[in-house]
Amino acid sequence: MTFKEIVDILEAEIVLDSDDSDTEIQSVCSTDLMSDLLHFSSMPRSLLITGLANTQAVRTAEIADIKAIVFVLDKKPDKETVEMARQKDIAFIVTRLSRFTACGRLYAAGLRSCTGENR
Amino acid sequence: MSSGRAIEGSFHLTGGDFTNAGAASSELKSILTNLGISLAIVRRAAIATFEAEMNVIIHAVAGVMYYQVTADSIKVILNDMGPGIPDIGLAMQEGYSTAPDWIREMGWGAGMGLPNMKKNSDEFKVDSVVGEGTTVEIVIRIKEESP
Amino acid sequence: MNVRDIVERLSLEVKTAKGDLQREVRGCYISDLLSDVMANAREGELWITLQTHPNIIAVAVLKNLAGIIITNKRTPEEETLKKAGDEGVTIAVSQSPTFEVGGKLYTILQC
């Protein structure tokens, strides 16, 4: 699924667009606990859906090679968070949907979870 | 990378500084990437050091992250002035955490830190003295894929 | 749709004996931040989380939630199960990641 399709499905507002709006997203992780994000071993071209609207989410996304982040419940990131994502080339969107509805719509549209555990 | 030569350096970490938390691991990640080390190995090193760095930020007053990269391995040592870990066996259990609620609300303290470090390391050591501090040593071997 | 139906459809393992499995589920809230659940979850919703800490029971009671699903192979702490028993809160666990459990539950609740 492309980044642009995800923006449409989540009726999201783009904070930082992907360099390439045809960027293909292949897997999703939804968590507010950052170590959980670091727990998956297989996360190809991955999207993070989180309610944790701070720089920690961006930093962890960078370490885990996440391509794009969704903040739910209309949580607007502060300047620092946006700036960090910009520097790390991570696309960034905000949806007014809850985590449940955001996950549900993307799952129903065919996206699947990151899998596996590290080693 | 030319064989035999080691690339090394260190970062100072300040406990409680959540604004810069993870910056050292992030920089180490780009150093490793620029050395041409494979993405899978860089990712493991980044995850292990990031978890270790966050532990220093969350629990300690201050610490140092020292790294040494050779043709064969990445070694990272984190030395902190912190409360120490009374029972390392317990701390290695998934889900065990002594982090307070406000740390949990920042997305940390899920009790996955030490287990995540161990999973991503080829060699992993923790030494701790209660009331003095903790030293974590992470070694990741690079050799795996031959060109 | 009640808690028992969902336990069966999602192949969950119920960890508590005293919860009300007949209870009607009115929706779902996914969060790993307790303050967020306190602020935003609604009565009768199932709560999907990674948290295993005993405080989750107090939150479920205060918000009158239908039950708690703990995901991604995590096991609740003993103290958590004890409190759940005392308060009659259902805890079920899943081997799957949150995105998958939430995604499947969304499709189930819609039909």
Q: What is the pLDDT of residues B107-139, one digit of tens each?
A: 888 888 999 999 999 999 999 999 999 999 999
Q: Is A83 on the interface with B (CB under 8 A)?
A: no
The residue among B24, B40, B41 whose CA lies nearest residue B77 is B24
Q: What is the mean pLDDT of residues A22-49?
A: 88
Residues of C in contact with B104 (CB under 8 A): 33-34, 51, 53
Count of structural domains within chain C: 1
Find the range with the poorest average confidence among A18-32, B76-90, B123-137, C33-47. A18-32
CATH of segment(s) A3-111: 3.40.1390.20
Whether B67 is covered by a domain: the verdict is yes
A residues 6-65 near B, CB within 8 Å? 32-36, 38-39, 52, 54-57, 59-60, 62-65
Given a cut of 90, is residue A108 above it in pLDDT? yes
Q: What CATH number corresponds to the domain at position C10? A: 3.40.1390.20
* pLDDT, position A40: 81
Nearest chain C Cα distance for residue A40, angstroms: 10
Q: Which residues constitute the domain of residue B84?
A: 13-141
Locate the chain C residue with the closest alpha carbon to A100.
Answer: C30
Sign of CA dihedral A57, A49, A71, B31: positive
| Percent of chain C surpassing pLDDT 70 | 99
* pLDDT, position B136: 98
Q: Which residue has the tokens 């996914």?
A: C30
* pLDDT, position B4: 66
Q: What is the mean pLDDT of residues A44-64?
A: 92
Q: What is the mean pLDDT of residues A52-70?
A: 92
* pLDDT band at B3; cut points 50, 70, 90: low
Please state the ipTM of this predicted complex: 0.95
Given a cut of 60, is residue B19 above it in pLDDT? yes
Whether B6 is covered by a domain: the verdict is no
Q: Which residues constitute the domain of residue C34?
A: 3-110
CB pairs under 8 A between A and C: 84
For chain A, domain boundaries: 3-111
Q: What CATH number corresponds to the domain at position B120? A: 3.30.565.10
Q: What CA–CA distance (Å, rounded) separates A55 from B46? A: 17
Residues of B in contact with A52 (CB under 8 A): 106-107
Count of structural domains within chain B: 1
For the sheet with A68-71, list strands across it. Answer: A13-16, A91-94, A68-71, A46-50, A27-30, A112-113
Which two three-digit tokens encode residue A111? 């996206």
Residues of A in contact with B106 (CB under 8 A): 52, 54, 56
